């Protein structure tokens, strides 16, 4: 088996955006206390949120991040996941429906006080 050279992907990110992604989005302590803290990795959630905000992602990558957040939060039922997988099988691409996206965005706003629709600097 021959080794292939590594694929280099050039990211169009500023160093400050990369630092924000690594640091993660801060989640207010009073919001964390409302949720069962042993059920969530708030550091990972913060990193996913920061990646969504600062990663310069296309729609498919944004949907992937939202799906990861939804899975972590237990927002999607088994039927939802099956629908997502069926779409992937039939279309050959991964995507969330507008209502699935909105479900995750609403959860983030309601439960964590994080508004993904607002612009950040």
Q: How does 76-111 read in b/e, with b if 16+ C-beta sit within 10 Å? A: beeebeeebeeeeeeeeeebbeeebbebbbebbeeb
- Residue 13: pLDDT band by 50, 70, 90 thresholds? low
pLDDT of amino acid 4: 81
Span between the terminal Cα atoms of the chain, in Å: 47
Least confident range of 7-16, 19-28, 80-89, 110-119? 7-16
The pLDDT > 70 percentage for the chain reads 80
Q: Where are the domains of the chain?
A: 15-112
Whole-angstrom Cα distance, residue 59 to residue 63? Answer: 6
Write the pLDDT tens digit of every residue in 36-94. Answer: 666 678 888 889 998 898 888 899 999 999 999 998 888 999 999 999 999 999 999 99
Task: Give the span between the Cα atoms of 95 and 6, in whole angstroms.
Answer: 27
Q: What is the pLDDT of residues 1-11, one digit of tens each?
A: 667 887 776 66
């Amino acid at each position: 088996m021959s080794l292939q050279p590594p694929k280099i992907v050039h990211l169009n990110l500023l160093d400050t955006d990369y630092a924000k992604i690594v640091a993660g989005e801060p989640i207010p302590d009073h919001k964390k206390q409302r949720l069962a803290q042993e059920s969530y990795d708030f550091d990972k959630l913060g990193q996913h949120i920061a990646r969504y905000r600062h990663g310069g992602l296309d729609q498919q990558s944004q949907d992937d991040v939202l799906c990861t957040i939804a899975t972590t939060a237990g927002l999607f039922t088994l039927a939802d996941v099956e629908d997502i997988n069926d779409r992937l099988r039939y279309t050959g691409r991964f995507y969330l429906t507008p209502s699935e996206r909105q479900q995750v965005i609403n959860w983030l706003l309601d439960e964590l006080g994080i508004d993904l629709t607002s612009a950040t600097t």
